[in-house]
Chain A
């Protein structure tokens, strides 16, 4: 940031400052969500969504400060990597959490996966029971 900025520089600096503080606040939001939410799945919402927006704001702040065109594709690549990886890791953690019964059923109003999982589990048991004698 330029000290004693005037005119356009001052405006850009002010916008950058707002972006940076908001981006930092997004990290704080993620933490508040982590601490306040009752179960793993809702914490996962808190951990993923503010991080994406926070990184976007921070990268936009960098882009505004650098003022060179070639910075933007670089920042876009960094953000797109985040966009591609965050949902995947959230899905993997969520799936593992659901399968290991980290979910609190009393916190769910609707659970349409439970019946499917139960059916799949019983089918699997039937298959192993039917398959076991054959092997012997």
Chain B
């Protein structure tokens, strides 16, 4: 049971991370990349949470909360930066 869950979630998360990285590489604009890296951060958080659930510990929980907050601060900062210089760079 444990192995099946681990393998299934590992495959799913790997596919998801690969897709997010493709969007980071392709993404036509800076904001698309920010969004995709936010999703990638969420996938890392999901991996941490699955590890905690399967192995029954809570060591990563604080890390998970910190990850959420860092992702939040990161995307808000970039979004502010982008909208501040909207006059000059429309093709960022």
Interface residue ranges, A against B (CB under 8 Å): 1, 3, 5, 13-14, 16-17, 20-21, 23-28, 30-32, 34-35, 40, 43-44, 47, 51, 54-55, 58-59, 61-62, 64-66, 71, 74-75, 77-78, 81-82, 85-86, 88-89, 92-93, 95-97, 99-102
Mind listing 16 A-B residue pairs with CB under 8 Å?
A3-B1, A17-B1, A20-B9, A21-B9, A24-B8, A24-B9, A24-B50, A28-B13, A54-B42, A55-B49, A78-B65, A85-B72, A93-B31, A93-B75, A96-B86, A102-B31
- Report the bound CA distance from A27 to B64 in whole Å: 15
Give the bracket for the number of chain B residues in contact with chain A: 35 or more
Is chain B's interface secondary structure helix, strand, loop, or mixed overall?
helix
Interface residue ranges, B against A (CB under 8 Å): 1-2, 4-5, 8-9, 12-13, 15-20, 22-23, 29, 31-32, 34-36, 38-39, 42-43, 45-46, 49-50, 52-54, 56, 58, 61, 64-65, 68-69, 71-72, 75-76, 78-80, 82-83, 86, 89-90, 92
